[in-house]
Structure 1
Amino acid sequence: MTFEACAGIVERGDPDRFLAVMAAPVAARRVLFPIYAFNVEVARAPWVTEEPMIAEMRLQWWRDALEEMASGGTVRRHEVTLPLADMVDGDGARALDRLVAARRWDVYKDGFEDAEHFNEYLDATAGELMWQGARALGAVNREDVLRFGRAAGLARYLAAVAALEEKGRVPLLDGRESAIAELAREALNNIARPVPNNAAFLEAWQAEPILRQIAKEPWRVAQGTVGLSPFRAKLRLLRWS
């Protein structure tokens, strides 16, 4: 139940964040890998079963684990829970519960209720994840980090739309190309990295060029062809780190 186990989970389940963490200083890796491993485990919980009740139980297990961390009591043994408990304080554990609760949307096939619901989902997942990583590494301006994380999360989300549709989900409120391009343009207004710099921001290394790609060629979202070439992606990560 070690840092190395968390790194392996991220490498297998979230390779882009794995590359970002490996570009960070060693001390930051020990903070970020448990947080990102937690995110991998929670994000995949709704997808490992077709039974909503079982998926809900899996998410509740993580909510109960976070409550144990927040209360300062004995934390259930798991290859992620114990390293995570060493990296987040009570406030962090309670905040991450918001992320788990938001993932309940992934269990079902209903669409988002409205734009507020969609933005709340991005805030609670991508935004909160980035904030807790950045906070654990010393960041203090929550709103700037949440805004940046939400924009980066939108880039990832739009890249996943075609896969979500294949799974029977309704991922967008408005799937017209003009509406998708507008989402990307709005997010570009929030994509500047907060200052001072923080290793948790590295996870957004591809966000800006992907959003620019979508704003220019929104048809890529439906076709599932959003993304950078491996060479361009790695070059950008080198420049960011």
Structure 2
Amino acid sequence: MQDLDARLADKDPDRWLSSRFVADATARADLVALYSLDNELAAVGRKVRDPLVGEMRLAWWREALEGLIATGATRGHAVLEGLKAARFPMDTVAGLPDRYIDALEPAGTDEVLLARIDETDGVVMALAALRLHPDARVEQVADAARALHLAKAGQADRAAVTAVLARGQGALASLPTDAFPAVAHAALAKTYAGGGRPGPIGKRLRITWAVMTGKL
């Protein structure tokens, strides 16, 4: 699990940093495993040009997750090892690969794009929040997930991202404090949308401020 944590710190420092604010070591490790799975699934769409090849790779993950649920088999994969004892609704986790299959094709419209973000990034963020507090709800984190995805993908400017975050602040305010580390990295969305690329110290300060204030 330590290797998985180190890999996330290297490949996904934003979510790794936000997970440092989870006091419970077991819950923190569960988030690391979830984020590592999400990165594996999201990478498929970036690496393949043929949607059919992408579907095959995502089908492998679906079958592997179903096998994990049924028998505990991990196929020797570190991500599956990390998820084996994780306390998530595993049927929802096993459904993530199919959600990414739909994202292999171009979105076409803004409405389709937002729906896909909700089905992928939004679900993952909600799973993380739910792991940290049982009262967390998907609608509390949906706009944070949308804003961060749009900003990092260059699909919205700073003004648009700021508007998305502002719209979601009311719902976010009702998110239990213990669950806030699940969304804290979205505090970087406005910086990314403005073309900024903050360094490690800047990221740490911004995420720390978000956790302390409960605002993105």
TM-score band (shorter)?
0.7 to 0.9
Q: Which residue of 2 aligns with 1:125?
A: 120
Q: Which residue of 2 aligns with 1:101?
A: 98
The Cα RMSD (Å) is: 2.9
How far is 1:60 from its partner?
0.8
How far apart, CA to CA, are the structure 1 residues paired with 2:83 and 2:176?
25
Please list every run of 5 or more consecutive structure 1 residues that lacks an aligned counterpart in the other structure: 163-171
Q: Contact 1:31/1:87 (CA < 8 Å) preserved in 2?
A: yes
SS in 2 for 1:139: coil
How far apart, CA to CA, are the structure 2 residues paired with 1:184 and 1:97?
33
Q: Contact 1:159/1:227 (CA < 8 Å) preserved in 2?
A: no
How far apart, CA to CA, are the structure 2 residues paired with 1:205 and 1:196?
13
From the superposition, tell whether residues 106 and 16 of structure 1 become closer, same or farther in structure 2 (CA, over 3 Å): same
Any residues of structure 2 matched to 1:60-75 within 5 Å, and which? Answer: 60-70=59-69, 72-75=70-73
Name segments (4+ residues, structure 1) moved above 4 Å. 226-232
TM-score by length of 1: 0.71
Please list every run of 5 or more consecutive structure 2 residues that lacks an aligned counterpart in the other structure: none
How far apart, CA to CA, are the structure 1 residues paired with 2:11 and 2:173?
25
From the superposition, tell whether residues 16 and 209 of structure 1 become closer, same or farther in structure 2 (CA, over 3 Å): closer
Q: Contact 1:151/1:207 (CA < 8 Å) preserved in 2?
A: no
Q: How many residues are treated as equivalent by the alignment?
A: 207
TM-score by length of 2: 0.78
Q: Contact 1:210/1:226 (CA < 8 Å) preserved in 2?
A: no
From the superposition, tell whether residues 186 and 50 of structure 1 become closer, same or farther in structure 2 (CA, over 3 Å): closer
How far apart, CA to CA, are the structure 2 residues paired with 1:111 and 1:119?
9
How far is 1:86 from its partner?
0.9
Any residues of structure 2 matched to 1:67-86 within 5 Å, and which? Answer: 67-70=66-69, 72-77=70-75, 78-86=77-85
How far apart, CA to CA, are the structure 2 residues paired with 1:207 and 1:138?
18
Identity %: 23
Q: Contact 1:21/1:32 (CA < 8 Å) preserved in 2?
A: yes
How far apart, CA to CA, are the structure 2 residues paired with 1:81 and 1:193?
33
How far is 1:38 from its partner?
0.9
